[in-house]
A = this chain, B = another copy of it.
Amino acid sequence: MQPPPATPGDPLDRVDTPALLVDLDAFERNLDRMAAETTARGLRLRPHAKTHKSTDVAKAQIARGAVGLCCQKVSEAEALVDGGVEDLLVSNQVAGGRKLGRLAQLARRARIGVCVDDAGNAADLARAAAAADAVIDVLIEIDVGAGRCGLRDPEAVVPLAQQIAAAPSLNFAGLQAYNGTAQHLRAPEERQSAIATAAEIVRRATTALSAAGLGCETVGGAGTGTYALEMAEGLWTELQPGSYCFMDADYAANGSPPDYEQSLTVLATIMSAPETGFAVCDAGHKACAIDSGLPRLASHPAVALTGASDEHGSIALPAGLALSVGDRLQLIPGHIDPTVNLHDWYVCHRGGRVEAVWPVTARGAMF
């Protein structure tokens, strides 16, 4: 783990670069806003920790009413339980005996849920939980349009739910119905159509469960790009947005959701300015993920970097912006989740000073 790039009390110009900067005022407004929206609808909020991988952020979300957190990996769940989070859903399939054993051990220390879309995997999970004398909540994942994991046939939930309900070490808790692709569709009508399709699939699954005499306490899903649509459908009971706490350039390009603020940037320093109108900063794609496009200048959000290699970000300077060696700039990442995963520390600031330095608790937790 790298040493922190700043110390509480430092002015921002003392922060070493590249560094994740969190504007605490904007961050807290984002948390308050989502808490208020979900509370107003009477929905459970279970924010996704794959975005922030942080015990500090998780606790700030729980303090505002979140029922627990989602994560994608057993090792993320372990890190968050170690940090005091008591209710976690691994919103993903967990395969392999070593991982299932760890998940079952964790379920002795916290309320743990996981997703399943395969009968053999459900049987392995039941055995691992029984061996640890633990009980694990299980959501059956159904494919609601992304074509990734999840049962393709919504009626196929019935035999799998019956298998899970029959296992004393498992608790059939409902459905996982998340369309990751829909989060990033550019046009509002495309997102609306995708979630309408998802809702129809959820309805088929819950109808089949009900016909078989099986309850469905939880329907989980929704992300930052579509949660308003899932809320409006009235079928989802637990929302799982992640990015809303920090936001990124990809969501900004969609204009969705409105009112949430870019609270996280990557602070960089100009290391070379070898010709007029061009500069190179010290944040490349090892500091700012580029899977969803090149980062943008916070001072000029319409301007993206012109190139990013491992440790260099190239900038064709827009008119009116001159940058020399040693100057600082803030970048808006194209995609927040993998950007955070590259860093060991958040530098949290307010009023021009570093107020806190938070570890990225589960940075690199991929097991």
Contact = CB atoms under 8 A, between A and B. Distances in A.
Interface of A: 1-2, 5, 14, 16-18, 50, 72-73, 75, 92-96, 98-99, 117-118, 120-121, 124, 143, 147-152, 180, 269-275, 280, 282-283, 285-287, 289-291, 307-312, 314, 324-326, 337-338, 341-344, 363-367
B280 A148 contact: yes
Contacts of A271: 92-95, 149
8 contacts: A2-B75, A2-B367, A16-B99, A95-B326, A118-B274, A148-B272, A151-B274, A290-B291
Given A2-B364, A149-B280, A366-B287, A270 B95 contact: yes
A312 B149 contact: yes
Contacts of A152: 274-275
A324 B73 CA distance: 20
A184 to B, nearest CB: 10
Contact of A2 (B72, B280, B338, B365): B365
Nearest to A276: B152
A151 B148 CA distance: 48
Contacts of A289: 285
Contacts of A282: 95, 366
Contact of A286 (B92, B99, B324, B366): B366
Given A95-B269, A311-B366, A150 B50 contact: no
B1 A1 contact: yes
Contacts of A342: 341-342, 364, 366
A309 B180 contact: yes
A118 to B, nearest CB: 5
Contacts of A14: 98
A73 B287 CA distance: 12
Contacts of A312: 148-149
A95 B311 CA distance: 13
Given A96-B16, A367-B2, A120 B280 contact: no
Nearest to A6: B98
Given A118-B272, A290-B291, 13 more contacts: A2-B366, A73-B311, A93-B271, A94-B271, A95-B270, A95-B325, A96-B326, A117-B272, A117-B274, A120-B326, A282-B366, A286-B338, A344-B364
A34 B250 CA distance: 42
A117 B280 CA distance: 12
Contacts of A118: 272-274, 325
Nearest to A363: B364
Nearest to A287: B366
Contacts of A366: 2, 18, 282-283, 286-287, 311, 342-343
A192 to B, nearest CB: 22
B148 A93 contact: no
Contacts of A75: 2
A350 to B, nearest CB: 22
B291 A17 contact: no
A5 B95 CA distance: 15
A61 to B, nearest CB: 19
Contacts of A149: 271-272, 274, 280, 312
A163 to B, nearest CB: 15
A308 B99 CA distance: 21
Contacts of A98: 14, 16
